[in-house]
A and B are shown apart, each in its own frame.
Chain A
């Protein structure tokens, strides 16, 4: 009853000044709209850019690095065990680039509960023959099914089907830049030369576009067995095992563990791509700062409108107090006004923010760098709406609190005397 009466009075004051109130509410609406749209867009953009890397990059890559043997002859000599060794002109040995005992490693990874999946890979350096010209390129042997499910391989196949790599013998998918240089299209047959001088004929079954031009100019894909054949290597010859984890944050620890366990090199995604996380967090920080700044500005709008209202309604406040409303009641009346402006403006802002995000989502955004993206990316995370609502509530609460407090302190005697 008492609350109802105060809300009733607040409503009366609000309606009497509905134009100014609306202006204050529109301020909140505008800032929440921009906050939602900005965060949705920025976060969509972040996801996109991160996805560009994270989707395609394994969480842990197991490989054998080319490096000098840690056990040089002198280190094996007992006489010089404690001495410092100076060895000049040390060379990387011709140790195998393939992963030793890859079948056992893959079995172990398969049984690891923390692993989402893995795919094997091997890489060959080849020359693509185009008449007289040889174009240097790289050919990766991949398993298209696993590559597709774990690393979104299919997202980057702009024409053709990745599955054809296994279905059609001696088939290849070319990077877009490479295909353009070779003037080939799907169905054509191209010729390659291996570093050992052997020639192969391969049928083009797809075009690949990663978005990174340097890669698209040199990269090509074939099935694992095709590349093993090109390199004339046995079927257990694998240079990379790409592991995807259930929880990406475990990657650094698990990479170290695998290094120990399998006696190979293992690199985690955080070490390999540290710069991307920095980029995303800075973009997020900027969006939040802009959004919160907008809200604070809206808060000042509410502060002003309430101050003005209180100044205009001095007489009403004095009479309310004279007839038995306490300072607390008066404060609550003005708090109701502030909060209803905030909640009403905030809710409209959420709706408009959703609308604006949807509109941005429809704007065409075609760039050669991002083949699968047709419109601006938007992340419709409910978190942003929640944060927006909570912030609009708190800014209006604080913006209202000071004027409401002032109103509660008004001395009716001074007002009544002043007449």
Chain B
């Protein structure tokens, strides 16, 4: 019980544009520490929508969201920003690196924002994360001068910098070729097995899902199997 990291209670969400439709209905599930969970389902069933709610970026929902057993408020933007900074790591389908900065700085940014460690320590930790992902040699390269697969690994390093409780990914391998997808999957797997990292990853790839600890399946805004 005490190692529940993420819990959704009776979550409902509607879109009002153009007509009021329910995209999430009565979502209930929880993720425990160290679990590697994949979220699958047909296109348009509401996976991304659910992930945005769980990530605290979307607060327009009904029901309760608990992260680290703490209920998330819906109207305290600075507080939610702090939660995202300290407890959640993100990996998106597109890498979203800041092209103005080099790879190392990109990884360091959320760490500097957290302001828990000194700049030197954050830099040291960032290099550690890059080493885990095997890309420390890219540290001083400009973010837009590395390949797509490498960018995705930089994004994972960035997600890891503050030792988050959970890493969330929305089709992080969706934009990569087979080789790079496998590489990224292996990294996730290693993070889960070696570092006991909790992961919640949305994927379309059945072979990807099959190799995770647990599969949550969605259909038409409902969880049909978890």
Q: Tell me, yes or no, whether A binds B.
A: yes
**Residues of chain A whose beta carbon lies under 8 Å from any beta carbon of chain B:** 1-2, 5, 9, 12-13, 15-16, 315-316, 318-329, 411-413, 416-417, 419
CB within 8 Å for A321 and B57 given contacts A1-B115, A16-B99:
yes
Interface string of B80-116 (1 = CB under 8 A from A): 0111111000101110111111000000011011110
> Which B residues are in CB contact (< 8 Å) with A320?
98, 109
- A324 touching B115 by the CB < 8 A rule? no
- B110 touching A323 by the CB < 8 A rule? yes
> Which B residues are in CB contact (< 8 Å) with A15?
100
> Which B residues are in CB contact (< 8 Å) with A325?
81, 85, 113
CB within 8 Å for A318 and B81 given contacts A1-B115, A324-B86, A324-B110:
no
- B98 touching A12 by the CB < 8 A rule? yes
**A14 to B: closest C-beta gap in Å:** 9
> Which A residues are in CB contact (< 8 Å) with B92?
416, 419
* Docked CA distance A416–B55 (Å): 13
A-B contact count, CB below 8 Å? Answer: 78
**A331 to B: closest C-beta gap in Å:** 12
The residue that B98 contacts in the complex, of A2, A319, A411, A419, with Cβ under 8 A, is A319
> Which A residues are in CB contact (< 8 Å) with B170?
416
Interface size class of B (residues with CB under 8 A): 20 to 34
Mind listing 18 A-B residue pairs with CB under 8 Å? A5-B109, A9-B98, A9-B109, A15-B100, A316-B96, A323-B85, A324-B83, A324-B110, A326-B77, A326-B82, A329-B113, A412-B57, A413-B58, A416-B92, A417-B52, A419-B92, A419-B93, A419-B94
* Docked CA distance A323–B52 (Å): 13
The closest CB in chain A to the CB of B96 belongs to A319
Q: Does B18 contact A (CB under 8 A)?
A: no
> Which B residues are in CB contact (< 8 Å) with A417?
48, 52
* Docked CA distance A326–B90 (Å): 16
* Docked CA distance A71–B81 (Å): 92
The closest CB in chain B to the CB of A412 belongs to B57
* Docked CA distance A320–B98 (Å): 9
Q: Does B222 contact A (CB under 8 A)?
A: no
Q: Does B153 contact A (CB under 8 A)?
A: no
* Docked CA distance A324–B162 (Å): 11
Lowest 9 CB-CB distances: which A-B pairs, in order?
A324-B85, A326-B81, A12-B100, A319-B96, A16-B100, A323-B110, A326-B78, A324-B84, A5-B112
> Which A residues are in CB contact (< 8 Å) with B101?
12
* Docked CA distance A328–B79 (Å): 12
